[in-house]
Amino acid sequence: MTIKRRVAVIGAGITLFRRRLKETGKELSYHASKMALDSAEMNLSEIESVVMGTAPDAFDGIHMKSENLLDGAGGTGRPYMRPFVGGGTGVFAPIAGWWHVASGLYDTCLVVAEEKMSPVQPHPQTAFRTIWDPIITRPLQPNLVWIFALEMNRYMTKHNIPKEHIAEVAVKNKSNALDHPSAQLAAKITVEDVMNSETMVWPVQRLDISPPSDGAAALVLASEEVAKKYTDSPVWIDGVGWSLDSSYWTNRDLYYPQYVEEAAKMAYKMAKIDDPPNQVSFAEPYDPFTYKELHHMEGLLLAKKGEAPKLTHEGVTQRDGKLPICPSGGLLGVGNPIAAAGLMKCCEAFWQLRNEAGKRQVDGAETGVCQAWGDLMQVGTVTVFRR
Amino acid sequence: MTVAVVGVGYTDFRSATPDVTFKEQMFEAAVKAYTDAGVSPRKDIGSFITGAEDYWEGYSIFDEFVPDQLGATLRPVCTISGDGLQALMTGVMQVETGMFDIVAIEAHSKASDMLSFTGIVSHGLDPVYNRSMNVSPFFVAGLEMRKYLSETKTTREQCARVVVKNKKNALDNPLAAYPASMSVDEVMNSEMVSDPLSRRDLSPLADGAIVFVLASEKRAKELSDYPIWLKGLSWISETPWLESRNWSEATYAKLASKKAYKMAGIIDPKKQLDLVEVDDWFSYKELQHLEAIGICEKGQAGKLLEQGKFDRNGETPVNVSGGRLGAGNLLEASSLQSVLECVLQLRGHAGKRQIKNARTAAAQSWRGIPTATGSMLILSNEK
């Protein structure tokens, strides 16, 4: 496999992540896009194509939501496209931006991800009532916390993992988020706080879950030739991968996300990575729940099966550890406006690899991996960034 | 561009399909397309792309339900929340990167499952400025048709002739859901929906699924005796605001065709295109689109239609398949229905409705109310 053109990230932008923001989805898209363009020192007129990542239309109650958002994201009068893989969309949107440029069809692409969950009443969870198979699963009236509790339980049981080790992910990520200016739930908490928080569906407790949020993020992508005109320090997209497993999630063993491994192998192959734990400087796996960070570290082949909790407990995944995980603060700390949260991780990779992450900076960051996950515990999306 | 269509698969299009689920429709189309291309989804196809919108499907996250029936589990699969042509163009870009040699594209409609089509369309209107008026969303098409007719001096009768032509063309398309011999009077006298738009000016909904297999140049020549090459493509969105767009012409189609023609080296579309399939969600849209993509001057489409220039044996055959009006409105899949017609014609497989010596064809799409988004694809049976 020979990839036609190398693609660079040359700008990034992000809004505040909050439970409720007064701005409309269009306005949030605008703010993130403007910041990304400004950071690239580029005008919108230099953007040839736009990709919009945003999760279910049901959040906004707008059919063909991306059509409504398009002027906020600079899509007017441009090729504008919305790739959609549920919760995996945030890391998938830059992959779609990547093929716009790598194909040679466009030299620049503005990738925007927006999510506004607050319009859903009484709670964003309501929008997920219609994600289930209408015959097999929907009559049971499940919700997401319910199925993730099943998965978490299976993971803990299979590897005999103490809940306290999983709780350490919340402590780390919320603490990392103290240094992120967009963060919604940054905090100094302890393992005891997590263990004593309200039980939602055992073993998932209140502090194991990321919050519903409003927010947006954006990246500017450019071909190698164009990137060099704008910056001396482009960040390269060197690997992309995605994989979608069967709709019938009840038919597979939930202890391991094979689809994440398939996506990771595809991205690593493209990036010529054969020893991920030693070749990746930091990673931003998707962490909407504490256990998901660990699950995804294993799927990303950064830890052996069942060993991610041990690495976390030993401090390996701290920002100053050997393999920093979620130095941004992740979804648990910064917030979870679904598609925007995934792209927030890619923004973090951009800032880390440009040495612009301020207090969050990881020493010697050369290669960063971002990953998102979604659907019915079913999709993995992976991007490898290099300086 | 060096990507070709090497396999097509489709169900027939029907007004209702209570006997099958959307998964079964997708499966039928996919198996036919893979067989036509002689490929295995598990071994040969690198990526799978579906064009789908959540609200049409009745799911919050529809891509969850895509992989199994395409033979695509644990493989690169995604949906494009857009029309089928945007999904197809995504496939082209993926092949052009060098990442994949073969990709599969799918779009379908299970419109008969919808309880309220107009309710869903209404949910596409801006929730603050437009939806709150609480009227049928077809007022957008009514207003646009009124503006188009008055600005271009096109008549309602000419629009009615679009319906008559397309339904007649559909008589020779065995897949079509709504073929008919209909008179101009029947269209003109049908119930008014949003003046001057009457019931028969609207394309009726249908169910169906379409799958294409695309391949890179090298693989296309190995796989197919009649690869159909994708020579030019473009998709474009104009303003989402009803209040600020140009109501008399389809700017999105104009911009998309310009770029697609340039890529395909088409200077005089009227002469160089042997047939075109344009979006005819509403009768007047066919005329508006023909003007926008340069098949004729603004304001001329109605007259040329009356003269029979767009008939199957006319100068530029338009919607030989029957279009949305005759074959059925397949929502996001209708643009792939247009591509399907082009492929069958260019292969010489269009049966009774075959256009002789067809070499180059164009498929143009519009995403419907309230969007100003459309795509354009140029296909040819010559490399």
pLDDT tens digit sequence for B267-307: 999 999 999 999 999 999 999 999 999 999 999 999 999 99
Measured between alpha carbons, how far is A346 from A177 in angstroms, rounded to an integer?
15
Q: Does B121 touch chain A (CB under 8 A)?
A: yes
pLDDT the model gives residue B134: 86
- Quick check: B240 contacting A, CB < 8 Å? yes
Q: A243 and B241 in contact by Cβ < 8 A? A: no
DSSP state of A197: S
Does residue B97 belong to the interface with chain A, where contact is any CB pair within 8 Å?
yes
What is the CATH classification number for the domain harbouring A252? 3.40.47.10
pTM above 0.95, yes or no: yes
Nearest to A165 by CA among A128, A195, A196: A195
* ipTM of the complex in this document: 0.97
The range of the structural domain enclosing residue A77 comes to 7-122+211-386
**B58 near A CB under 8 A:** yes
Confidence (pLDDT) at B39:
98
pLDDT number for residue A1: 74
Q: How confident is the model at residue A37 (pLDDT cuts 50, 70, 90)?
A: very high
Calpha distance B71→B87 (Å, rounded): 18
Q: Which residues of chain B have pLDDT under 70?
A: none
Q: Name which of B62, B66, B98 is nearest A4 (Cβ-Cβ).
A: B98
Interacting residues of A383 by C-beta distance below 8 A, sequence separation 6+: A91, A94, A95, A98, A237, A239, A240, A241, A267, A346, A349, A369, A370, A371
The answer to whether residue A178 sits within a structural domain is no
In a domain? residue A215? yes
Q: By three-state DSSP, how is residue A217 classified?
A: strand
In a domain, A127, yes or no: no
Q: Is the pLDDT of residue A167 over 90?
A: yes
pLDDT digits (tens, 9 = 90+) for A348-366: 999 999 999 999 999 999 9
* Interval A291-303 mean pLDDT: 98
Mean pLDDT of A216-235: 97
Residue B135: its pLDDT value, please?
86
Please state, in angstroms and rounded to a whole number, the distance separating the CA atoms of residues B296 and B309.
11
Task: Kindly report the CATH class assigned to B3-115+205-223.
Answer: alpha beta
In this complex, is the C-beta atom of A244 within 8 Å of any C-beta atom belonging to chain B?
yes
Q: What chain A residue is nearest to B1 in terms of C-alpha separation?
A: A105
Please choose, from the candidates B160, B210, B153, the residue with its C-alpha nearest in 3D space to the C-alpha of residue B183.
B160
Domain count, chain A: 1
Indicate yes or no: CB of A63 within 8 angstroms of CB of B81. no
Determine, yes or no, domain membership for A19: yes
- Asked if B96 lies within 8 A of A4 by C-beta distance, the reply is yes
Mutation pick from A49, A67, A107 vs chain B, by most beta carbons of B within 10 Å, is A67
* A251: contact with B, CB 8 A cutoff: no
Measured distance CA(A54)–CA(A112) in Å, rounded:
8
